[in-house]
Chain A
Amino acid sequence: MIKQRPRSRRSSFGEPLMQGLLWSSVLLITGAFMWLCSDIVRHGFRQLSWDFLTQLPRDTGRSGGIGPILVSTGLIIGVCLGVSIPLGVGTAVFLNEFSAPQRWLSQFLGISLDILAGVPSIVFGLFGNAFFCKTLGLGFSILSGGLTLACMVLPILIRSTQAGLQSVPNDYRLSAAALGVSRSAVLWQVLLPAAMPGLVVGLLLGIGRAIAETAALLFTSGYVDRMPTSLMDSGRALSVHIYDLAVNVAGGEQNAYGTALVLVLLLMMINGSVSWLGKRFQQTRILDV
């Protein structure tokens, strides 16, 4: 209301100065943004075609498409979600529904999730290389990359699922208990469906983080740009492809821009659905069961 435009008649010397400063910084940022976006769209759009999306990269990526890279990216994300969804949802349910916040396990989990969320991605890469590739003997593979990313997106997934569960009114739990419904039935029939929007938002945010990630994949899932035949093959993710084309391949910029445009479009779709779902989530709050 008033917050938006507190009016006053007395305008001092500072006021026009600040107005100028504010508008110029906003114009500066918008300008930089337009510059960045127009470059990506302009250079990337030229590359974009059905062939580009489906064909094999040729001449170390200078020409040809990104077919195998899209497949590898999909597989890495699939492994990542396959592991992180059960772990994340299970942990969130445990924290919210089965454990008291005072318990040491809950407190420890809270702290460790905060740390996990702050660890730089390159450190996840080091860990993934030492643990998944070397100690577990998975080598440079899609599996190692996906598992490393699963560790990275876990905090996001847990926090959003928790937020979803917290928004389910306690009446639901009490009514179910009064009816003599078992806790697991309440969980499957009432709590999880009601917490679904939060879960989906977390899921999309997690996919967004995973798909944008490069540093953690450099030495876990590797560089190989062939079509992967199994999860134990090394596979190159979209982001790694962009890096490789830009830095190691002379004349690879055009295809790097094309891949970047594909990546940014994917992310924009994901972010768009997050904000759309988030808004719906806030409006409905809970599911009409």
Chain B
Amino acid sequence: MSEIARWTSTRQRPSRPFYPLVLAALVVIAAVVLLRLADPLSTLMRATGAKEAESASFLLWQLSLPRLLAALLAGGAFALAGTVFQAATRNPLASPDLLGVTAGAQAGMLVGLAVPALRPLAGPPLLFAFGLGAAALALVAAGGWRAAPLRLLLAGGACSLLFSSLVTMTLALFEQNIAGVALWSQGALYQPGAQGLKTATLWLIPPIAVLPFLLRPLEALALGDDAARSIGVAVPFTRLLAALAAAALTAAAVAIAGPIGFIGLLAPNLVRALGLYDLKTVAPLAALTGAALLLAADGAVAGTGLSTGLSTTVATALVGTPLLLALVARGRMPAPTSRGDVATGGRTAPFLVVALACALALIALCAFGLAWGEAWLSPARLVDAVSGRDPIAALILDIRAPRIAIAALTGAMLAASGVVLQSVIRNALAGPEIIGVTQGAALVTLTGSLLWPLLGRPGAFGLALSGGLATLGVILAINYRQRFEALRVALTGLALGGLFAALTYTLIVETSAQPARALIWLVGGTYGRSWADALALLPWFVATLPALALLARPLDLLALGDDAAAGLGLPIALIRGLALLLATILASTAVAIVGPIGFVSLLTPHLARLLGFHRHGARLPIAMLLGALLTVTADIVGRAALAPTEIPAGALTALIGAPYFLWLMIRRPATRDDHR
């Protein structure tokens, strides 16, 4: 029996006593409730006069208590949603966040605010529709219910990135109207007020009412579809109902508390880490644990008074990430082995033909990018610009050309970083943006530029590098004992990346009353970059090229497996170390110039493989050319499409890359390799 089936199976393990967990959760809840209510209660007691008493009792009953209830309800709902998703997919990682449901619901919230015609549906109904849509998209892309965990994670991650980049782009483009939305999207708890809490709670009743009838058939599903069918379980119906219930739970929870779906991943896995597997035990315990976790996180936020920046989402990530990492490090997260390739095989085209075609396409695209924009620069004007006869055209050329050069350089560097990381860690998910290296580099760079506003380019490179290397170091240290197993590395990286992104956001909100100004920086882009930036980046690119060329062959050998590679006399540890260092340098230096542009390094290695290039000598250059093509396209479209308004290139790489990636997954059903 595979490891996946084992974790849900009840019959093999005797249930352990669960009282310690229940006791711990109840103690946490009681302690936080007492601490939080002490203040309003004492105000009420000390109130003199009817008016003062009335105001104090309002504070207690309408503000303090509902916020506690909101935390408990949302935490419990997220945890239940995670439990149901995990049981229905037999995947310990399926959770509202990782399936894209939370990001989908967030997009639904934004649509409800932005489209007046949809106002009547704003709130839980719209969140439910969008959340369900995201889950459906992720499931279809992954290849259905039985998709391997890593594949589902990949599809859900792409979905999540797609929706969140849509949200970020909208927020960045409509800076004026977003202060309120930005507060919400950070998960400032208790948003709808006591009345709204009541409405959202009503939406929790149907899915919770269905749960008792769902748990038994879901438990049977753990034994496999056939076994479940043989004891009379309607398998498709059970899964459909489970997905509906989990999406409804998530939608209501997001409406109450904002996007804090992390709880849905954490709480059920914590319960299972204690050796409890019976679904009828796990569900209520996970709900209790989730409620306690969110309440504690929210209490911490209220306690510090950092109500604008350090919001509940960030606090949850701060509390939850170490717990999750501990589970990963101790090997308590059940993780089947899989490399999670999205697409293997495919037609093999001659390398030279493809490389030449890509290079020509890149040259044509760059030439087009120089000409196209708010003003069309004809070839004659371009010549005039270079020869100095047309000073305006020369200025415009001086704006467009360095951006295109930087887009091409960073695209190629990010792609190379992705190929190397994916090979070394033997993990199809190991793009620097997925394993958190990008976010780590971005966080450190931003912190540095806030502390020293006149920080020069060398300083920025140094900070980005140290941030990226430190992140990589943490990931490797945590996963050392598990031999860098793919799913664990991905999970560690996702957790760290999420935490760093949240911290970066916090930093921005704390240093300015108007976070919209810095939002654009968060998605990365080529706007306003000059020749000086391009020249600063160039040495890093040039210096890494020979290293990449030298590493291509050893990386091929590594792909044969450690033993085989060692048998051929390869110094494995040295090669691994050098390759990781190289990948981190490539990604971090790119981030230092353009910020956290996502998706390039995740997508392009898969595209190169899809074209039939498996050996690194061919895969690396093709992926780099494709990365340059994607990023230059994002740069040109972002500059010209809505001119004079700019769309950040980082949002566009996700908007172009994510749908294509999902389509790729849909078109190429899982190979045998995925189910291994």
Binding partners A and B: no
B residues adjacent to A (C-beta < 8 A): none
